[in-house]
Amino acid sequence: MPIATIGRTFRFESAHFLPKVPESHRCRNLHGHNYRVEIVLRGEIDERGFVKDFGEVDAAVTPLIAQVDHKLLNEVPGLTNPTAEIIARWFLDHLAAAVRVTVWENNDCWAEVSR
């Protein structure tokens, strides 16, 4: 059976600061981003014609978005140092079916974590 790949993009807006960069680094200061996160799944196409129903993807991801949207990310468990890489890993860790997560902090900067 061929393997198919699907993706679904979500958005959230959050504040953060990066505590492990030097004092002089601008990301040490509290600031915000309009984040975009893409969740990617891979698998065989089932009898319904899906790798996964996008509605099922929504049901799994929406509670995670609720944990980070309009929040100070540094206060979310697991995100005390909320770089894009660590935010992507946090989503991947909470989504057993996902194989890749990409987080965009803006139009130009992104990080991807996969298994």
Active site residues: 27, 70, 105
47-68 burial, b at 16+ Cβ within 10 Å, e below that, comes to eeebbbeeeebeebbeebeeeb
Residue 44: helix, strand or coil by DSSP? strand
